[in-house]
Amino acid sequence: MKIFSLILLVLGLLLSGCASKQKVVVAKKELPAWYIHPPESDAYELFALGEGENQQDAINNALSLIASTLSVSISSSFRAKTVVKEGSVNSSDATYINKIQSDVQKIRISEYEILHVKKLGFKRYAAVVKVNKQKLFQGLKNEIDQKFEIYKNDMKNIQRLDALKQLAYYKNMKKSFGYIKNALLVMKVLNKGFDDKKYLTVMNEINTKYQYLLEHISFWVITNIQSLSKPVISALTKQKFIVKNLKSKMHFDIYINAKIQKANAYGFSLARSEISFVTKDYKGEILASNVIHVTGQSSQGYAIAKQNLVKRLKKLIEKEGILKLLNIGI
């Protein structure tokens, strides 16, 4: 009996060992036909296959690929118009082309259709996106037309503002130039007959007005402590403003009033200050004001601590910017 039980035990161990050696076969997941052979772009529509860790990533990557395709088309068009010397584009042109490709890829594509989306495996999704060229062109055109219509309406009121507010307005408009220029480049690729002259004319007009203001706005600094004016004047000059006491509707006076207290701490001499900045227009009306606290210190006496105070004010201006320090919203 014991021998029979022993034989059964051995047989059981052998059978379990064989079973453990058997491999679990997982059926291979077939890839969809649209993934293996994605649709190709033509004269009317753009297609792209994107992959990602989730569905939205896959769609976004497909849209990025379409933007990349457009940027390549634009740079190719630019290269074709460039005079090629000795069979190659010169380095400056190549740099410009690379910049175009990089900038155009930032264009937002809002008009698109999702043809396919499928989960291919763990954290792996694929999507095919279609973009109709005419719809994309019209979407970009509507967006730009809306921006220029807003600008046209703003012109009725912008001239009533002081020179600094006008400068701030045109500066913000210039920030949108990058997007508008890139959108115009894409639109010319999508529609060969598109004429962008009227848009470029308005953009040049905005740039001209901005430059005119920048070249004619002037400041003068009045202060109770002369050494504090130096870092302010230096910063304004770096911003390309005129620093002279002029009589003009574009002239502004900056009043700096500092209260400095002498103190000592841990063997250091301190120059604790409360500095107020008040900016007035040519009529004497206050446009902006701000108050800051800066402390200079030195182990060599109060006079050196006051010099350190000026250095710290200079560093603060370099860090924050003179216009922010004056509380002028440009």
Instruction: Let me know whether 65 and 165 are in one domain.
Output: no
Instruction: Let me know whether 68 and 158 are in one domain.
Output: no
Q: Is residue 316 part of a domain?
A: yes
State which residues form the domain around 180: 136-197
pLDDT digits (tens, 9 = 90+) for 157-187: 898 899 999 999 999 898 888 788 888 888 8
Non-local CB neighbours of 229 within 8 Å, separated by 6+ positions? 221, 223, 256
Instruction: Let me know whether 124 and 53 are in one domain.
Output: yes
Distance in angstroms (rounded) separating the CA atoms of residues 105 and 214: 32
Instruction: Let me know whether 273 and 302 are in one domain.
Output: yes
Instruction: Let me know whether 140 and 125 are in one domain.
Output: no
Instruction: Let me know whether 313 and 227 are in one domain.
Output: yes
Q: Is residue 248 part of a domain?
A: yes
Number of domains in the chain: 3
pLDDT of 103 over the 90 cut: no
Q: Is residue 4 part of a domain?
A: no
pLDDT of 27 over the 70 cut: no
From residue 89, alpha-carbon distances to 77, 81, 186, 278 in Å are: 13, 11, 22, 54
Predicted confidence band of residue 9 (pLDDT cuts 50, 70, 90): low
Q: Is residue 8 part of a domain?
A: no
Domain CATH for 295: 3.30.160.150
Q: Tell if the pTM clears 0.75, that is, is over it.
A: no
Instruction: Let me know whether 248 and 181 are in one domain.
Output: no
